[in-house]
């Protein structure tokens, strides 16, 4: 990733963390829903932190699995929201 791409990514998705999905949506074009991209990035970071916690500390597996499931569900909900925004934009732009 170039410095220019990184700057644009942070500008659009925020500094909290950037998932592959957010990168693809931003640089692939189409999505300009900054709030949704930032939420996805924040949830991505939360999921990664829970994974690291599970690897380094003695935490109940059920608690970790439940928490990661909640994070994944929230991310999928936002992905659907972004897809709806893109679909709406594409329909609105059609002649």
Residue among 29, 47, 41 at smallest CA distance from 79:
41
Q: Would you state the pLDDT for residue 5?
A: 73
Count the domains in the chain: 1
Q: Would you state the pLDDT for residue 95?
A: 33
**Consecutive H or E run containing 91:** helix 61-93
Residue numbers of the domain that contains 49: 3-93
pLDDT at position 93 over 50: no
pLDDT at position 17 over 70: no
Express each pLDDT in 63-79 by its tens digit. 888 888 888 888 787 77
pTM above 0.85, yes or no: no
Question: What percent of the chain has pLDDT above 70?
Answer: 56
Q: Would you state the pLDDT for residue 20?
A: 64
């Amino acid at each position: 990733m170039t410095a220019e791409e990184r700057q644009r990514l942070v500008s659009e998705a925020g500094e909290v963390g950037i998932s592959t999905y957010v990168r693809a949506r931003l640089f692939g074009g189409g999505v300009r829903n900054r709030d949704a991209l930032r939420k996805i990035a924040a949830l991505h970071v939360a999921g990664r932190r829970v994974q690291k916690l599970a690897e380094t500390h003695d935490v109940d597996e059920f608690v970790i699995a439940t928490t990661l499931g909640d994070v994944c569900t929230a991310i999928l909900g936002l992905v659907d929201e972004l897809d709806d925004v893109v679909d709406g934009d594409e329909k609105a732009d059609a002649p």
